[in-house]
């Protein structure tokens, strides 16, 4: 295969942007209509350009992950408010302080998954998180503990936010559209592992369950850490007894308590 750069018959976009910026300033060249369309932020942010922005947000991470050779992922969802046990004294509630054990379990799980991934080339079963604090930080941190990379899918929120410091920089992405971000979580997923969390965690869990239940997505293992937590906030059996889900839908997920339990559950599904 020829790896030499392809000869270009025409200037590339970067060259034309530079050339356009060097144009003498006149009323004509200073007019917004004169800007190159792809270099005009005001134009790209118009409501009418939403379909283009959606496409760009889908394409940019896809190209980067493909170029990085990432073939499959293990998705980790969980609460942003769950603290590192070393800082559980600063937790907002006593319950969150107790849930800090899952930070350590998430970190251990991510480390074990990444070690196994690296042993097989590092392109399969790469950990992916939302890139934020709490369980997300623990996932990225565990991958870093193993000396591997992890993917972070961050999103712009009204309050100040930045990726956690354990996120692999070249695999850290930022999103405007929740829907496109959700697609990227699942496009390469070989399993979804869910720790205790809030609305965001519940949203991702139930969307994944619905996609599998309705046949819109191929079945993959869904592993829930902390049976006591999940059975206290969702009466799964009542849903089945009411007929709003099938009894068999209760088999779409597995409860575990530790990272070792989760690894064993994944190996059982292979």
Residues 6-58: tens digit of each pLDDT: 777 888 899 999 999 999 999 999 999 999 999 999 999 999 999 999 999 99
Same domain flag for 214 and 261 = yes
Local structure of 155: helix, strand or coil: strand
Residues 174-190 have a mean pLDDT of 97
Same domain flag for 153 and 232 = yes
pLDDT band at 1 (very low <50, low <70, confident <90, very high): very low
Contact in structure between 123 and 185 (CB atoms under 8 Å): no
Contact in structure between 152 and 165 (CB atoms under 8 Å): no
Q: How many CB atoms lie within 10 A of CB 122?
A: 17
Q: What is the pLDDT of residue 270?
A: 76
Same domain flag for 34 and 128 = no
Q: What is the pLDDT of residue 4?
A: 63
Q: Select from 7, 29, 45 the last residue of a domain.
A: 45
- Residue-averaged pLDDT of the chain: 95
Q: Is residue 88 part of a domain?
A: yes
Same domain flag for 40 and 81 = no
Residue 160 has pLDDT above 90, yes or no: no
**Percentage with pLDDT > 90 across the chain:** 91
Q: Is residue 55 part of a domain?
A: no
Residues 55-82 have a mean pLDDT of 97
Residues 154-169 have a mean pLDDT of 90
Q: How many CA atoms lie within 13 A of 177 on its CB side?
A: 15
Same domain flag for 158 and 222 = yes
Same domain flag for 34 and 90 = no
Same domain flag for 122 and 26 = no
Contact in structure between 210 and 246 (CB atoms under 8 Å): no
* Cα radius of gyration rounded to whole Å, the chain: 22
Same domain flag for 236 and 117 = yes
Same domain flag for 94 and 217 = yes
User: In which domain, by residue range, is 30 found?
Assistant: 16-45
Q: Is residue 86 part of a domain?
A: yes
Q: Is residue 184 part of a domain?
A: yes
Same domain flag for 123 and 20 = no
Q: Is residue 54 part of a domain?
A: no
Same domain flag for 154 and 23 = no
- Taking the C-alpha atoms of residue 18 and residue 56, their distance in angstroms, rounded to an integer, is 22
Give the residue among 86, 66, 180, 179 at the shortest CA–CA distance from 137: 86
**DSSP structural state of residue 10:** S
CATH number of the domain that 103 lies in? 3.40.50.450
Give the residue among 270, 228, 233, 230 at the shortest CA–CA distance from 253: 230
Local structure of 168: helix, strand or coil: coil
Q: What is the pLDDT of residue 269?
A: 86
The dihedral over CA atoms of 192, 89, 131, 191, expressed in degrees to the nearest 10, equals -10
Contact in structure between 77 and 193 (CB atoms under 8 Å): yes
Residues 83-99 have a mean pLDDT of 94
Give the residue among 269, 266, 268 at the shortest CA–CA distance from 110: 266
- Taking the C-alpha atoms of residue 107 and residue 144, their distance in angstroms, rounded to an integer, is 10
- Taking the C-alpha atoms of residue 29 and residue 160, their distance in angstroms, rounded to an integer, is 36
Same domain flag for 23 and 148 = no
Lowest model confidence (mean pLDDT) among 12-26, 99-113, 144-158, 238-252: 12-26
Note the pLDDT tens digit of each residue in 190-246. 999 999 999 999 999 999 999 999 999 999 999 999 999 999 999 999 999 999 999
The total number of structural domains in the chain stands at: 2
- Taking the C-alpha atoms of residue 48 and residue 60, their distance in angstroms, rounded to an integer, is 20
Supply φ then ψ for residue 172, to 5 degrees: -110, 120
Retrieve residue 246's tokens.
């099938």
Say how far residue 169 (Cα) sits from the centre of its chain.
14
Give the residue among 219, 228, 227 at the shortest CA–CA distance from 261: 227
């Amino acid at each position: 295969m020829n790896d030499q750069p392809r000869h270009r018959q025409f200037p590339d976009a970067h060259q034309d942007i530079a050339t356009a910026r060097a144009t003498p300033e006149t009323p004509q060249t200073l007019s917004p209509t004169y800007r190159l369309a792809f270099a005009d932020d005001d134009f790209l942010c118009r409501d009418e350009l939403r379909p283009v922005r959606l496409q760009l947000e889908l394409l940019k991470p896809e190209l980067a992950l493909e170029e990085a050779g990432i073939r499959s992922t293990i998705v980790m969802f969980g609460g942003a408010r769950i603290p590192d046990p070393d800082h559980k004294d600063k937790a907002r509630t006593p319950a969150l302080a107790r849930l800090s054990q899952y930070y350590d379990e998430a970190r251990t799980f991510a480390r074990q998954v990444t070690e196994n991934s690296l042993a097989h080339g590092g392109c399969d079963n790469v950990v992916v998180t939302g890139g934020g604090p709490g369980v997300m930080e623990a996932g990225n941190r565990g991958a870093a503990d193993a000396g591997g990379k992890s993917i972070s899918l961050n999103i712009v929120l009204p309050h100040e936010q930045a990726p956690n410091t354990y996120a692999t920089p070249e695999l850290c992405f930022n999103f405007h559209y929740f829907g496109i971000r959700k697609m990227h979580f699942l496009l390469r997923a070989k399993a979804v592992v869910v720790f205790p969390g809030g609305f965001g965690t519940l949203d991702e869990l139930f969307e994944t369950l619905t996609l599998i239940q309705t046949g819109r997505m191929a079945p993959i293992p869904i592993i829930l850490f902390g049976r006591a937590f999940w059975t206290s906030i969702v009466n799964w059996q009542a849903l089945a007894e009411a007929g709003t889900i099938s009894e068999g839908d209760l088999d779409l997920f597995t409860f575990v308590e530790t990272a070792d339990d989760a690894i064993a559950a994944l190996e059982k599904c292979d």
